[in-house]
């Protein structure tokens, strides 16, 4: 409620709805808002009146967007953790408690049915009263009625998708949501596509329904004139309308509210319902290129990505490549010692074994480690800053200018050290040294050190790394790996989510980061909780900024999906995830009657490329929108996947991706060197994570920021510091 009150207060100013000159660049508004939200009042007073007004308007517009984002993040957190999560856990406990009662009732019914079946075998001449006499010798009729009532109470109807236990439990928490449900759609403006329109209308109508004071029935019931029966589906029918269904034209108020709220939340996450004023929950389709904007970039984007306007020849070529690859791999199975086929016809590939290190290499490593000097993290940062002065020039102030402070490199190194080590400035600050005074460190941190500056400066570090001989020996910088580190956030935050496996009883975030094959971090993103990596992998890929582009992307199984395969290859990236459970993977072929011998157990799916041909114009427009940064890849993936029920366009991209998934799995089977390369870069990333974990040792390695920007800035500092330690080829001590 506090978050919605804040949104309402900011919207009430009306400044965000002022019509701006279309010629004002969006980037200028972003810069003004950043300055307005970060600068001190004394700095603002120095500017002329028009500049102050422009800064105020831009800041309010940004605050509107940010507060709506935060309010909807809190709604998502409430639904996932406080309502859905707790309701499911409580429902599981109730299942255990009610099992003896259900088992006893079921046993009684089983006795009666057994007698009934025996009576049926006697013949047609047996009469009904005789059957009842036979049943009552085993179980009295009253106990049988009680058993039927118990089963009806505890077991869902045959057409239900589950037992509805957690939904019933959630409906009992009406007091938790009654307040914000009445004002949510009144404070925040929502829109919907045709799939979400009916649910949004039902959600918008809830305040009026809840405000109604009935005189002829309990307030716990709603008149059917306030209920949209089309929105009530599945198990909710039983909870809303009763079981058996009520005949008095009334419905359960609590169940209906939660039925609408659950569907509203689900469609909001799918972006079938969206908030136009938000930056994270807006409509992705409204951001796609269309009309003149699309025509202006179409030819250049298709040329860059190597995609045709007409897919006929392109798809035929891919069909031929897939067919030939199947035949080549099948022909090589007999000579492939790493591959075995079990009695069920499943294919198993042996894990890659480490190459034995010769004694001379072990001795050389020990000698080099003994010769390396030990330095502080801050000394390593300072030395690299001297090697790469462009890093400092990329750290612009809130107003967009460059620093003119003396010894700013010392201040930057001190701030990065404190943030990367997760300690305060107290042990870093030194009285009498201007660059290390406490107020100076606070000023540099507040003015220059933020995630977007790190992203702008990082390409200069990447270029510096490329010139190191050892980095060249590791790789060419064209292969990258994506994986996540988990961090506990012990303070209340809308962006921290529970996961007992990684965070215990607390909540946390994932730092999803990408490194190249030269062991250098090139991009990262902070993810709430442990959301599936596949939803965010493309965001990380396209946030790497300028510099040499990684063409091959390696991830773990968590980042894999057919959709990501399709989008990555459409965006001219070679996607190489490390797939688990290879024998159970399903591959795809172009024709159902083609025989690939031992590979038939894998090639169980048949591609329907008609879907791709039908939706190709929309596919290339969507891909071009991602490529030109018109839309966020995360929003696109959410919109297309729809929680495992993809749209028609999503299914078309899935089909396209299955071609490359099949080619990838076949390559894993046939090429041990590829498996070794994937394992190698993943080990390289695990090594960098181990370094980051060792550096980030203060305060038990936990994050204490409540807002996304704080989390992003500190983990950005950690990533930059880990890169500094990687550039300087010496061991680092804390």
> Does residue 244 have a cis peptide bond before it, meaning omega lies within 30 degrees of 0?
yes
* Res. 606: pLDDT tops 50: yes
- How confident is the model over 639-656, as pLDDT tens digits? 898 877 889 999 999 999
429 half-sphere exposure, CB direction, 13 A CA radius? 14
Q: Tell me, what's the pLDDT at 157? A: 60
- How confident is the model over 265-284, as pLDDT tens digits? 999 998 999 999 998 899 99
Q: Which of 166, 167, 115, 163 is nearest to 137 (CA)?
A: 115
Q: Are 256 and 227 in contact (CB under 8 A)?
A: yes
Cα–Cα distance between 631 and 545 in angstroms, integer? 16
- How confident is the model over 23-45, as pLDDT tens digits? 778 778 888 888 888 888 888 88
- How confident is the model over 196-255, as pLDDT tens digits? 999 999 999 999 988 888 888 888 888 898 999 999 988 888 888 887 778 888 888 888
Cα–Cα distance between 683 and 381 in angstroms, integer? 25
Q: Are 527 and 510 in contact (CB under 8 A)?
A: yes
- Checking phi first, is residue 400 left (phi over 0); if not, alpha (psi -120 to 50) or beta? left
Q: Backbone phi, then psi, for 176, in 5-degree steps?
A: -70, -30
Cα–Cα distance between 48 and 46 in angstroms, integer? 7
Residues 6+ away with beta carbon under 8 Å from 240: 227, 232, 251, 252, 255, 256, 259
Cα–Cα distance between 214 and 654 in angstroms, integer? 51
Strands 339-341 and 375-376: unpaired
Q: Are 475 and 518 in contact (CB under 8 A)?
A: yes
Q: Are 36 and 28 in contact (CB under 8 A)?
A: no
Cα 601 versus chain centre, distance = 32
Q: Tell me, what's the pLDDT at 126? A: 72
Proportion of the chain above pLDDT 90, given as a percent: 41
Cα–Cα distance between 659 and 513 in angstroms, integer? 27
Q: Backbone phi, then psi, for 707, in 5-degree steps?
A: -115, 155
Cα–Cα distance between 100 and 28 in angstroms, integer? 67
Q: Which residue has the higher pLDDT, 683 or 107?
A: 683
pLDDT band at 730 (very low <50, low <70, confident <90, very high): very low
- 358: helix, coil or strand? coil
Cα–Cα distance between 177 and 169 in angstroms, integer? 14
What token pair was written down for 727?
A: 């550039």
- How confident is the model over 81-100, as pLDDT tens digits? 777 766 666 555 555 555 67
Q: Tell me, what's the pLDDT at 158? A: 57
Largest CA distance in the chain: 110
What token pair was written down for 734?
A: 């804390």
* Res. 309: pLDDT tops 70: yes
- How confident is the model over 413-438, as pLDDT tens digits? 999 999 999 999 999 999 999 999 99
* Res. 310: pLDDT tops 50: yes
Label each residue of 521-535 as H, E or C: EEEEEEEECCCCHHH
Q: Backbone phi, then psi, for 347, in 5-degree steps?
A: -95, 130
- How confident is the model over 108-166, as pLDDT tens digits? 888 888 877 777 777 667 777 777 777 888 888 888 888 888 877 766 665 554 545 66
- How confident is the model over 53-62, as pLDDT tens digits? 888 888 888 8
pLDDT band at 728 (very low <50, low <70, confident <90, very high): low
State the residue for tokens 């004694």.
359
Q: Which residue has the higher pLDDT, 728 or 292?
A: 292
* Res. 381: pLDDT tops 70: yes
CA end-to-end span of the chain: 44
Q: Backbone phi, then psi, for 191, in 5-degree steps?
A: -130, 170
Tell me the CA distances in angstroms from 298 to 145, 247, 289, 618, 628, one per residue in order. 71, 59, 9, 12, 10
Strands 375-376 and 479-489: unpaired
Question: What is the b/e burial string over 303-336, where b = at least 16 CB atoms within 10 angstroms of the residue's CB?
Answer: eebebeeebeebbeebbeebeeebeebbeebeee
Cα–Cα distance between 33 and 39 in angstroms, integer? 10
Q: Which of 208, 207, 204, 195 is nearest to 273 (CA)?
A: 195
Q: Tell me, what's the pLDDT at 97? A: 58
Residue positions counted in the chain: 734
pLDDT band at 342 (very low <50, low <70, confident <90, very high): confident
Q: Tell me, what's the pLDDT at 734? A: 35
Cα–Cα distance between 655 and 658 in angstroms, integer? 5
Q: Which of 462, 637, 606 is nearest to 535 (CA)?
A: 637
pLDDT band at 484 (very low <50, low <70, confident <90, very high): very high
Q: What is the mean pLDDT of residues 390-412?
A: 89
Q: Tell me, what's the pLDDT at 613? A: 95
Q: What is the mean pLDDT of residues 676-697?
A: 92
Q: What is the mean pLDDT of residues 354-364?
A: 90
- 282: helix, coil or strand? coil
- CA quadruple 47, 48, 49, 52: dihedral sign: negative
What token pair was written down for 319?
A: 């069909």
- 426: helix, coil or strand? coil
Q: Are 264 and 587 in contact (CB under 8 A)?
A: no
State the residue for tokens 């299914």.
651
Helix 141-154 to helix 86-122 angle (10° resolution) is 140
Q: What is the mean pLDDT of residues 292-314?
A: 94
Neighbours of 429 (CB within 10 A): 17
Strands 339-341 and 347-349: antiparallel
pLDDT band at 559 (very low <50, low <70, confident <90, very high): low
Q: Which of 125, 217, 566, 24 is nearest to 32 (CA)?
A: 24
Angle at 734 between CA 483 and CA 515, to 5 degrees: 20
Q: What is the mean pLDDT of residues 595-600?
A: 89
Q: Are 544 and 538 in contact (CB under 8 A)?
A: no
Q: What is the mean pLDDT of residues 662-683?
A: 92
Q: What is the mean pLDDT of residues 162-190?
A: 77
Q: Tell me, what's the pLDDT at 733? A: 35
Give the H/E segment covering residue 514. strand 507-516
Proportion of the chain above pLDDT 70, given as a percent: 93
Q: Tell me, what's the pLDDT at 96? A: 53
């Amino acid at each position: 409620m506090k978050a919605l009150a804040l949104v309402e207060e900011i919207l009430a100013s009306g400044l965000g709805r002022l019509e701006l000159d279309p010629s004002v660049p969006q980037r200028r508004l972003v810069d003004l808002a950043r300055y307005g939200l970060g600068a001190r009042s004394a700095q603002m007073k120095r500017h002329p009146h028009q500049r102050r007004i422009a800064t105020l308007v831009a800041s309010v517009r940004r605050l509107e967007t940010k507060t709506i984002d935060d309010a909807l993040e809190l709604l998502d957190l409430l639904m996932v953790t406080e309502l859905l999560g707790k309701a499911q856990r409580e429902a599981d406990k109730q299942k255990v408690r009610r099992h003896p009662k259900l088992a006893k009732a079921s046993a009684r019914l089983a006795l009666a049915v057994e007698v009934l079946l025996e009576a049926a075998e006697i013949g047609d001449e047996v009469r009904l009263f005789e059957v009842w006499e036979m049943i009552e010798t085993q179980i009295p009729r009253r106990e049988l009625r009680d058993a039927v009532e118990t089963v009806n109470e505890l077991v869902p109807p045959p057409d239900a998708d589950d037992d509805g236990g957690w939904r019933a439990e959630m409906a009992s928490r009406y007091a938790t949501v009654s307040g914000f449900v009445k004002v949510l759609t009144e404070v925040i403006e929502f829109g919907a596509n045709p799939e979400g329109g009916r649910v949004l209308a039902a959600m918008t109508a809830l305040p009026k329904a809840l405000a109604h004071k009935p005189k002829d029935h309990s307030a716990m019931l709603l008149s059917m004139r306030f209920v949209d029966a089309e929105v009530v589906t599945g198990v909710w029918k039983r909870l809303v309308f009763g079981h058996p269904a009520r005949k008095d034209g009334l419905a359960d108020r609590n169940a209906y509210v939660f039925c609408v709220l659950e569907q509203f939340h689900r469609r909001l996450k799918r972006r079938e319902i969206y908030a136009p004023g938000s930056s994270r929950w807006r409509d992705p389709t409204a951001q796609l290129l269309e009309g003149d904007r699309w025509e202006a970039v179409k030819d250049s984007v298709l040329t860059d990505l190597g995609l045709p306007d007409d897919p006929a020849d392109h798809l035929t070529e891919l069909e031929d490549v897939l067919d030939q690859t199947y035949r080549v791999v099948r022909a090589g199975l007999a000579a492939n010692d790493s591959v075995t086929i079990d009695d069920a016809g499943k294919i198993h590939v042996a894990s890659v074994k480490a190459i034995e290190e010769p004694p001379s290499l072990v001795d050389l490593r020990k000698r080099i480690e003994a010769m390396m000097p030990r330095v502080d993290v801050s000394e390593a940062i300072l030395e690299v800053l001297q090697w790469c002065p462009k890093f400092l020039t990329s750290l612009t102030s809130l107003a967009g200018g460059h620093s003119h402070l003396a010894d700013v490199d010392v201040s930057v190194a001190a701030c990065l050290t404190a943030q990367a080590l997760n300690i305060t400035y107290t042990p870093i600050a030194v009285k009498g040294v201007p660059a290390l005074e406490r107020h100076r460190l606070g000023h540099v941190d507040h003015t220059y050190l933020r995630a977007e500056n790190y992203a702008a400066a990082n390409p200069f570090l990447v270029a510096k790394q490329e010139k190191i001989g050892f980095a060249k020996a590791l790789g060419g910088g064209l292969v990258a790996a994506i994986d996540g580190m988990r961090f506990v956030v012990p303070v209340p935050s809308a962006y921290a989510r529970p996961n007992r496996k990684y965070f215990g009883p607390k909540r946390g975030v994932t730092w999803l980061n990408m490194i190249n094959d030269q062991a250098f971090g090139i991009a990262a993103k902070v993810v709430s909780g442990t959301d599936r990596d596949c939803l965010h992998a493309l965001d990380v890929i396209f946030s790497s900024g300028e510099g040499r582009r990684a063409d091959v992307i390696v991830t773990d199984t968590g980042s894999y999906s057919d959709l990501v395969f399709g989008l990555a290859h459409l965006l001219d990236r070679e996607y190489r995830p490390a797939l688990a459970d290879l024998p159970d993977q399903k591959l795809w072929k172009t024709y159902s009657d083609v025989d690939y011998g031992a590979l038939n157990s894998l090639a169980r799916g048949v591609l329907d490329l008609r879907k791709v041909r039908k939706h190709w114009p929309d596919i290339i427009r969507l891909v071009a929108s991602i490529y030109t940064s018109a839309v966020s890849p995360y929003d696109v993936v959410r919109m297309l996947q729809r929680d495992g029920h993809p749209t028609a366009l999503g299914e078309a991209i899935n089909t396209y991706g299955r071609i490359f998934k099949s080619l990838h799995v076949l390559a894993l089977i046939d090429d041990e060197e590829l498996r070794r390369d994937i394992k190698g870069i993943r080990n390289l990333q695990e090594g960098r994570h181990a370094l980051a974990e060792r550096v980030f040792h203060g305060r038990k390695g936990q994050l204490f920021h409540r807002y996304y920007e704080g989390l992003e800035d500190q983990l950005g500092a950690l990533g930059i510091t880990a890169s500094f330690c990687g550039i300087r080829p010496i061991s680092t001590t804390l």
